[in-house]
Amino acid sequence: MAHAGSFRFPGGDARTTVLGRTGSGKSTCGLWLLSHQRLDKRPWVCIDFKREIIFDQVGFPPIQQIRLADKLPKRPGLYLVSPRPGQEVALEAFLWRLWQRENIGVYVDEAALMPDGDAFPALLQQGRSKRIPVIACSQRPVSVARGLFSEANFFAVYHMVDKRDYRIVEGFAPAELSRPLPAFAWYWYDVQRDSLLAMAPVPRPEVVADGLRERIPYRANDWHPFRWTSRPTGRLKIAA
């Protein structure tokens, strides 16, 4: 049985799984965790299936959009790719390029939509040695890569609808996760320390967006006196 301990953010080689039903707060939590990564030390790629509104609140820039076929970023910062249905083959190839690139972070907003190939499991299994931290969100612990649980260093668990889902997670995080919590509260399980914490809600989405904007380094590719503004701008309508 897990014991109480102190909270720590995931390190630069950690795999973190965030679970919870729609509207539970899991996506805000995932991005809050992301905002406390060293975005100034390595590039992070966000795989955004659902066009998460918090990214729009952060703005473009400092987030930079890329396509699945583009060269992978080398500079530190936050990069966004938005795959469409039918692009599973292209996304699988993109994930293998991330695996080969190494020293790059990966954030996934809906892990159940990741392709069924071997690339994402490889990122999870070899992420530590390749310095590829992963933060992945999912509504349920089903129809996702097993490595999200077997390789996870941290679990953030929000309310889930199906009680059977708690039992699945408890097979990897030996703690009673189904005990009710207040709205938007969550459980945090640290695998290495075998510690379980009941956490208060993370900051509001707009506060998380502000935190991300402050921490994302950004340098324009070419100088222009009006190229940068602190005011968030909309994302470009580019094909993934």
**What is residue 223's predicted lDDT score, i.e. its pLDDT?**
44
Beta strands in the chain, from DSSP E residues, in sequence order: 15-19, 43-47, 64-65, 77-81, 105-108, 134-138, 154-157, 186-190, 195-199
Please state at what angle helix 26-35 crosses helix 205-215, rounded to 10 degrees: 20
The tokens describing 61, both together, are 């820039």
3-state secondary structure (DSSP) of residue 26: helix
**pTM exceeds 0.85, yes or no:** yes
pLDDT (tens place) for every residue of the chain, 240 residues total = 566 679 999 999 999 999 999 999 999 999 999 999 999 999 999 999 999 999 999 999 999 999 999 999 999 999 999 999 999 999 999 999 999 999 999 999 999 999 999 999 999 999 899 999 999 999 999 999 999 999 999 999 999 999 999 999 999 988 889 999 999 999 999 999 999 999 999 999 999 999 999 999 976 654 444 444 444 566 766 656
What span, in angstroms and rounded, lies between the C-alpha atoms of 173 and 195?
9
**What is residue 1's predicted lDDT score, i.e. its pLDDT?**
56
User: What angle (nearest 5°) sits at the alpha carbon of residue 45, between those of residues 130 and 124?
Assistant: 40
Closest CA to 29 of 58, 5, 9: 9
Closest CA to 144 of 93, 108, 171: 108
Domain ranges of the chain: 15-215
Structural contact between residues 105 and 76, judged by C-beta atoms closer than 8 angstroms: no
What span, in angstroms and rounded, lies between the C-alpha atoms of 188 and 166?
14
**What is residue 5's predicted lDDT score, i.e. its pLDDT?**
74
* Domain 15-215, CATH: 3.40.50.300
**What is residue 156's predicted lDDT score, i.e. its pLDDT?**
98
Structural contact between residues 154 and 189, judged by C-beta atoms closer than 8 angstroms: yes
Instruction: State the CB neighbour count (10 A cutoff) for residue 78.
Output: 27
Q: In what order do the strands lie in the sheet with 77-81?
A: 64-65, 77-81, 43-47, 105-108, 134-138, 15-19, 154-157, 186-190, 195-199
